[in-house]
Amino acid sequence: MRLATTLLVLALPGGLLAQTAEIGLHGGAHRVGNASLGTFPDGSNIDLDSGWLFGFHLALNNYRFFGHEVGYTYNRTNWLQSVRGTSVGEAGTAIHRGMYNFVVHATPEGTAVRPYVGAGGHFQNFVFPGYSGVSGGGSTKFGINYGGGLKFRVSPILGLRFDVHDFRTAKPFNDLFANRSGMVRQVQFSIGFSILL
């Protein structure tokens, strides 16, 4: 028993040192596909517009090639209202996203360039225009996402990353709209900086 305990104590610091993390900020743009949320009772249609985004991410690389990432992204968008294809108005709003991805890197931890792919799940809170997501003015839906990118180590503690991710989410506001089909698709293009721990 003492031998096993001694070996565990000696092996533990090496295992802890292998677990590196990154914490950082990202910003960019998102393009919306299958953008129609549906039609109001008056027959007007609501589409989501593409827009800009920013957020933060935390990654734990607990194996040489594998890791986990969680994050939050604020997406700015507009509701575009149209009647029989003619625009009749727009209103600014936001989409709040929380996500988790399992990540696979092409090169081991510590290398200067690390291509990666990742996939996982997320939730999005689609905020009704004029309301706040924190005051209950939104519709939260779940979805899947996948993507990839490049991570660059520019110094021992600073990283740069370029990412492209595809987010597929169930359409929000079930009781508000008719004529709904498919999932909302958001393709996110972002650049970010990370502190490497």
Q: Is the pLDDT of residue 9 over 50?
A: no
pLDDT at 98: 97
pLDDT at 58: 97
pLDDT band at 72 (very low <50, low <70, confident <90, very high): very high
Rounded Cα–Cα distance for residues 64 and 79 (Å)? 43
| CA 140 to chain CA centroid, nearest Å | 15
Nearest to 154, CA basis, from 117, 114, 116: 114
Rounded Cα–Cα distance for residues 110 and 122 (Å)? 28
pLDDT band at 181 (very low <50, low <70, confident <90, very high): confident
Rounded Cα–Cα distance for residues 36 and 71 (Å)? 26
Give the pLDDT mean for 165-193.
93
Q: Is the pLDDT of residue 161 over 60?
A: yes
pLDDT at 14: 40
Task: Output the CA torsion sign for 156, 157, 163, 168.
Answer: positive
pLDDT band at 2 (very low <50, low <70, confident <90, very high): low
Given a contact cutoff of 8 angstroms between Cβ atoms, the answer to whether 92 and 129 are in contact is yes
Q: Tell me the domains of the chain and their CATH numbers.
A: 21-196 (2.40.160.20)
Q: Is the pLDDT of residue 97 over 60?
A: yes
Q: Is the pLDDT of residue 103 over 80?
A: yes
Rounded Cα–Cα distance for residues 181 and 166 (Å)? 18
Helix (H, G, I), strand (E, B) or coil at 133: helix
Residue 14 has a CB neighbour count (10 Å cut-off) of 8
